[in-house]
Amino acid sequence: MALNELTLLESFEGLRDKKFSSEELTKACFDQIEKHEDKIKAFVTLDKDGALLQAKKVDEKIKNGESLSPLAGIPVSVKDLLCTTGVRTTAASKILENYIPPFDATVVKILKDNDSVIVGKTNLDEFAMGGSTENSAFFTTHNPWDLDRVPGGTSGGSTASIAADESIFSIGTDTGGSIRQPASFCGVTGLKVSYGRVSRYGVVADASSLDTIGPIGKSVEDVALILKYIAGRDPKDSTTPPIDVDDYLSEIKKDINGLKIGLPKEYFIEGMDEGVRTSILEALKKFEELGAEILDISLPMTDFALASYYVIQPAEVSSNLAKYDGIKYGLSKRDGDLLNIYLQSRAEGFGQEAKRRIMIGTYALSAGYYDAYYKKAMKVRTLVKKDFDDAFEKVDVILTPVAPTTAYKIGEKISDPLKMYLEDVFTVPASLAGICGLSIPAGMANGLPVGMQILGKRFDEKTILRAGHQFQQITDWHKQKPQLK
Amino acid sequence: MKLSIEEVEHIAKLARLSLTQEEKEKYSNQLSNILEYMEKLQSVDTQNIEPTSQVTGLTSVMREDEIIESGIEKDLVECAPAHKDGYVAIPKIFENK
């Protein structure tokens, strides 16, 4: 097996046991990138020099017998939404095309403090809005399983980089499904943490009450390890509560005998791919084998959650994107007066989806419409959250599909925004409720990966990770790799 | 419910976006479609339901009112498209009469 095909844990063990060096591991990733990146296009910016420099530093530390973190010397790709000092951070937007941050996001700082090797910044839908990475202002990313298909979005570059073994782990963001859905489309493991579990400091803001930062990797075990390091209170992000970080790696080793798994009827609907439905129902049998108990539950607000989300998210993003005005940073068209700078910079800098969401949000918040749209949506949000609170009185975790379909073809849905939004129907409710959700490979349909979603209570990542890990102990969907030529 | 071109122009002005005529028509159609989908929210009974603006339950997280130097003031100013002598430069807002 080539070094870049290893998991995070295997890489850590290999470095610790001096079977190979960080430089060799990093070079293997870059060899893979050189071979396949022109077809996959997962990265906006690559930093080979910086990565090799860092890898060599770690090798020195290993040689000197220093005690190192398990993340040390391991190549990681970072979604181009997290600020990285001195390395271009674009949010896949023309308005930040040449922005070079003078500071690190907290999560990036954690990676650096743990001596990880940052390989580059991955592609996304502009400002994390979309479901396919086709809304990137620069180019679209291609699914390693079928290059004519989307990798999903918005963390499509991140998940593609893992599926193609271009990096060992990745950091993405999930606001309405942006880790879970591309993880499903690319056949990798991704975690949407509970809102507030991981610091948002230094991450380009999309919707401030919904944004989360999370790990993407080749297995639940890997994801559990990464989470241990990136989770926790950050004084720079007031929405991170001072709640203890569990020892996820030991928690996941416990069995799931008697675990109550809820199956919400509203998530098994018409219009879902038969291949998706079959894979999930097959996966359920494995959970029963492991001793879990399956219970039917109902989440009646599911149908309204999407409409609520598509009022709240645009409203919040219209406010957050107001900062891009051509004055403090980013693209600036300096013809004419101040108003013109705003109008032209934003007209030229923002893509179509960004403009659409800004306008929906502005409308929903404007005088005369605030109560009917935004306030109403926030009340519906309370009811969506209550659905989950009530369900978690009866069950420990909830199992659902991630998306109604497998990866669709590039160009298939991009001209119909509403059709694209409807793909989010299974991921958005959990975002509104701020609960955690794990997306793991559950099967294949027509040669494409099918993911399943395991939802858990707020700050109960340990339970969903345990369920996912135990599933991965008796199945090998997560070990399947695409054939790259 | 159909959004008129005038309404699209009003929203664009609020959002400080300049749109071409073609864009105004396109967005008028797309936004109308999307907003029509939102109408289903009206059928939900939300009487006596409090709105949720965030789920952490935290309120007014405080810290000591002490100055912490960032060390990157110069770098931050230099991110600006126009800057001079350590200040962000913007065009005149008021005319001197």
Interchain CB contact of A224 with B (< 8 Å)? no
Instruction: Please report the sign of the dihedral spanned by the C-alpha atoms of residue A15, residue A248, residue A222, residue A285.
Output: positive
pLDDT of residue B88: 94
Residues comprising chain B, all counted: 97
Which of A205-209, A429-433, B5-9, B31-35 is predicted least confidently?
A: B31-35
Contact state of A359 with B46 under an 8 Å Cβ cutoff: no
Instruction: List, in order, residues 6 or more apart from A448 with CB less than 8 Å away.
Output: A145, A146, A149, A185, A275, A406, A407
User: Closest Cα of chain A to B84: distance in Å?
Assistant: 13
Average pLDDT over residues A184-204: 98
Helix (H) or strand (E) holding B88: strand B87-88
**Are A259 and A235 spatial neighbours (Cβ–Cβ below 8 Å)?**
no
Quote the CA–CA distance of A33 and A77 in Å, as a whole number: 12
Of B14, B58, B70, the CB nearest to A239: B58
B75 CB neighbours in chain A (<8 A) are 102
Quote the CA–CA distance of A397 and A392 in Å, as a whole number: 7
Residue B18 within any structural domain of the chain:
yes
Among B13, B34, B63, B64, the strongest candidate for a mutation testing the A interface, having the largest count of A CBs within 10 A, is B34
Whether the predicted pLDDT of B70 surpasses 80: yes
Under 8 Å CB pairs connecting chains A and B tally to 162
Contact state of B81 with A327 under an 8 Å Cβ cutoff: yes
User: Closest Cα of chain A to B6: distance in Å?
Assistant: 13
A382 CB neighbours in chain B (<8 A) are 46, 49-52
Interchain CB contact of B86 with A (< 8 Å)? no
**Are B55 and A458 spatial neighbours (Cβ–Cβ below 8 Å)?**
yes
Interchain CB contact of A480 with B (< 8 Å)? no
**Residue type for position A196:** G
Of A307, A362, A382, the CB nearest to B41: A307
Residues comprising chain A, all counted: 485
Residue B38's domain comprises 5-43
Residue B38 within any structural domain of the chain:
yes
Report the domain count for chain B. Answer: 1
Interchain CB contact of A475 with B (< 8 Å)? no
Cα-flanking dihedrals φ and ψ of residue A450, to 5°?
-120, 125
Quote the CA–CA distance of B76 and B69 in Å, as a whole number: 13
pLDDT of residue A336: 86
Interchain CB contact of A333 with B (< 8 Å)? no
pLDDT of residue B1: 64
Confidence label for A272 from pLDDT (cuts 50, 70 and 90): confident
Whether the predicted pLDDT of A438 surpasses 80: yes
Residue B19 within any structural domain of the chain:
yes
Among A209, A172, A168, CA closest to A190 = A172
Per residue in B17-56, pLDDT (tens digit) is: 999 999 999 999 999 988 888 899 999 999 999 999 899 9
pLDDT of residue A190: 98
Q: HSE (CB half, 13 Å, CA atoms) of A283?
A: 31
Average pLDDT over residues A306-327: 96
Residue B62 within any structural domain of the chain:
no
Whether the predicted pLDDT of B97 surpasses 80: no
Q: What is the CATH number of domain A3-255?
A: 3.90.1300.10
Interface predicted TM-score (ipTM) of this complex, two decimals: 0.94
User: Closest Cα of chain B to A289: distance in Å?
Assistant: 35
Per residue in A233-263, pLDDT (tens digit) is: 999 999 999 999 999 999 999 999 999 999 9
Quote the CA–CA distance of A111 and A86 in Å, as a whole number: 15
Q: Which of A 313-332 lie inside 8 A of B, CB atoms? A: 318, 322, 325-332
User: Closest Cα of chain B to A130: distance in Å?
Assistant: 14
A311 CB neighbours in chain B (<8 A) are 38, 41
Closest CA in chain A for residue B13: A343
Q: HSE (CB half, 13 Å, CA atoms) of A255?
A: 9
DSSP 3-state assignment of B84? strand
pTM above 0.95, yes or no: yes
Query: What share of chain B has pLDDT > 70, as a percent?
Result: 96
pLDDT of residue A423: 85
CATH of the domain at B36: 1.10.20.60
Whether the predicted pLDDT of A264 surpasses 80: yes
Contact state of A102 with B79 under an 8 Å Cβ cutoff: yes
Contact state of A359 with B18 under an 8 Å Cβ cutoff: no
A2 CB-contact burial (10 Å; exposed 0-12 / middle 13-18 / buried 19+): exposed
Residue B15 within any structural domain of the chain:
yes
